[in-house]
Copies of this chain bind each other. A is one copy, B any other.
Amino acid sequence: MAKRDFLLTPGPVNVPRRVALAESQEIIYHRGEEFAELLQRVDAKLKRVFRTQNTILYFTSSGTGAMEAAVTNLLSTQDEVIVVEGGKFGQRWRELCHAFGVKHHVIQIEWGRAVRPQQVAQALDAHPNASAVLTQLSETSTGTVYDIEQIARITNERDVLLVVDAISGLGAVPLEPDRWGVDCVVAGSQKSLMVPPGLAFVSVSERAWERAEKSDLPKYYWDFKAARKNLYFTPFTPAISLVMALDEALDIILEEGLENLLARTELYAQATRAAIHAMNLQLFSERPGPVCTAVRVPQGTEWERDFRDAPQGFSDQDLGRPRPPEGEDLAHWAHRRHRGQRRVGHHWGLGADATQAGTPVRAWGGGACGPRGLQESPTVSLWSVRHFARAQSGNLPLHS
């Protein structure tokens, strides 16, 4: 497994050793007081990362499960909603509404662009019966961050529910659900929280609870009311070992401090973007955020061939190589790293072949990969894709 030391994906991310060890502790019984105390402790800490006082519900599932929970609990058969679709995960909101027969109006955004809050206002004007807006905080497939604060201003003016998929965004992109008025925030364990996948979270505001009381869409496993009733035990057997892991991961986050973590992630993202500019490569997103940076792979270059040949897992296959516009490839690098990974920076694998990109880039150099190095000279620490691919296949050491 050593060859897979560094994941470049927004999630799963590498799990700190402390978290992995917590995960492998002796299992405790989820109907005992010890579990309830554990989940209460986790809940208090998670609320600090969510920056909310709203109820947080816990589901054993991927983030998509929690998105389904939000749809089936907050909406009803007669509802109309607005869906922001600017990438693969906006598409998922649309597909969920379709699956459960909820009438939905899509704000179709060209992939890589950010929804303008004004577009949300216009959609709500055009569909005055719309009861909710479903959107992303960070659309992972394009690395684009949306302006949730401004969107919340619009939904709050109209008493419309705002449901935000922050699965990749939470803990990377600033988000203030209570201050801004975000009714429902969906997140998952395997992104910024540095826990293996399998747990998902949904925060539910008072206004959202009112909707949940009236919702008539079918649900059982995702039932918000059952989840609230059994808040610190969860209604069905929870992923106990992942809750133990989360307990430790939240300690790591709060020891660093959420603000410091957000600032560090943003710094990595900015350095990456600076490096991309320095290489004359093109960012894909018009409003790139700290979750991940998407760059167009220059067609016809050696890098393109490397990219195509790279072992799966090198680039974010989770995104299904969305390839907009037609015929192009996107490469993504995620920027969320735990502090133990700082020394090698977040630039693993980033970098076109210097010659192909026409920019002098000191490839192979790993010496200055820490944040300081990135600040001083963002182009110094780029590694060629090929180097990464070779290192992954075991022919080269990962630390050179």
**A-to-B contact residues, CB < 8 Å:** 1-2, 4-5, 7, 9, 11-15, 20-21, 23-35, 60-65, 68, 95-96, 99-101, 188, 190, 196-198, 217-221, 223, 235-242, 311-313, 316-318
How near does chain B come to A385, taking the closest CB pair, in angstroms? Answer: 16
CA distance A223 to B98 in the complex (A): 13
- Do residues B24 and A318 form an inter-chain contact, with CB atoms below 8 A? no
Residues of B within 8 A of A317 (CB): 29, 31-32
Q: Within the complex, which residue of B11, B20, B25, B62 is in contact with A60, where a contact is CB–CB below 8 Å?
A: B62
Q: In the complex, which residues of chain B have a beta carbon less than 8 angstroms from the beta carbon of A313?
A: 28-29, 31-35
Pairwise interchain contact A237-B31, C-beta atoms closer than 8 A = no
Q: Main SS of the interface on chain A? A: loop
**Are B312 and A27 interface neighbours, CB within 8 A?**
no
Residue on B nearest A242 in the bound complex, by CB: B198
> Chain B residues with Cβ under 8 A from A13's Cβ?
27
Q: Closest approach, in angstroms, between the C-beta of A141 and any C-beta of chain B?
A: 13
Instruction: Specify how many copies of this chain sit in the oligomer.
Output: 2
Q: Check if B60 sits within 8 Å of A60, measured CB to CB.
A: yes
- A27 to B25 alpha-carbon distance, docked (Å): 17
Q: Are B25 and A23 in contact (CB under 8 A)?
A: no
A197 touches B240 (CB 8 A): yes
The chain B residue with its CB closest to the CB of A98 is B220
Q: Which residues of B contact A20 (CB under 8 A)?
A: 24-25
Given contacts A23-B23, A99-B220, A198-B242, contact A237 B318 (CB under 8 A): yes
Chain B residues positioned under 8 Å from A11 (CB to CB): 237
- Pairs A–B under 8 Å by Cβ, sample size 29: A4-B29, A7-B29, A15-B26, A15-B27, A20-B25, A24-B24, A28-B313, A29-B313, A30-B318, A31-B312, A31-B317, A32-B311, A32-B313, A33-B313, A62-B221, A62-B236, A62-B237, A63-B237, A64-B220, A64-B236, A99-B220, A100-B220, A101-B218, A197-B239, A198-B198, A198-B240, A217-B218, A237-B318, A239-B242
Q: Cβ of A31: which chain B residues have Cβ within 8 Å of it?
A: 312-313, 316-318
**Taking the nearest CB of chain B, how far is it from the CB of A237, in angstroms?**
4
Complex alpha-carbon distance, A390 and B237, angstroms: 26
Look across to chain B and name the residue whose beta carbon is closest to the beta carbon of A319: B31
A96 — nearest CB in chain B belongs to which residue?
A: B220
Closest beta carbon of chain B to A319's beta carbon, Å: 9
CA distance A61 to B12 in the complex (A): 17
**How far is it, in angstroms, between the C-alpha of A61 and the C-alpha of B30 when the chains are bound?**
15
The answer to whether residues A27 and B61 also contact, given A218-B101, A239-B239, A313-B32 and a CB cut-off of 8 A, is no
B residues less than 8 Å from A239 (CB atoms): 196-198, 239, 242
A65 engages B24 (CB within 8 Å): no
Interface centre among A1, A11, A237 (most CB of B within 10 A): A237
A221 in complex: contacting residue of B65, B198, B235, CB < 8 Å: B65
Q: Which of A23, A63, A219 has the largest count of B CB atoms less than 10 A from its CB?
A: A23
- Contact, CB under 8 Å: B312 / A238: no
List B contacts of A35 (CB < 8 A).
313
A68-B220 in contact (CB<8A): yes
User: Closest residue of chain B to A14, judged by CB?
Assistant: B27
User: Which of B5, B65, B219, B223 contacts A236 (CB under 8 A)?
Assistant: B65
CB < 8 Å neighbour of A237 from B101, B188, B240:
B188
Besides the contacts A20-B25, A64-B221, A96-B220, what 19 more A-B pairs have beta carbons closer than 8 Å? A2-B26, A21-B24, A23-B24, A29-B313, A31-B318, A33-B311, A35-B313, A60-B61, A61-B61, A62-B221, A62-B237, A63-B237, A99-B218, A99-B220, A99-B223, A188-B237, A190-B237, A197-B239, A197-B240
- Specify the chain B residue showing the minimal Cβ separation from A36: B312
Q: Verify B12–A240 contact, CB threshold 8 A.
A: yes
Q: Which residue of chain B lies nearest to A197 when distances are taken between CB atoms in the complex? A: B237
Contacts of A60 on B, CB cut-off 8 Å?
A: 60-62, 65, 197-198
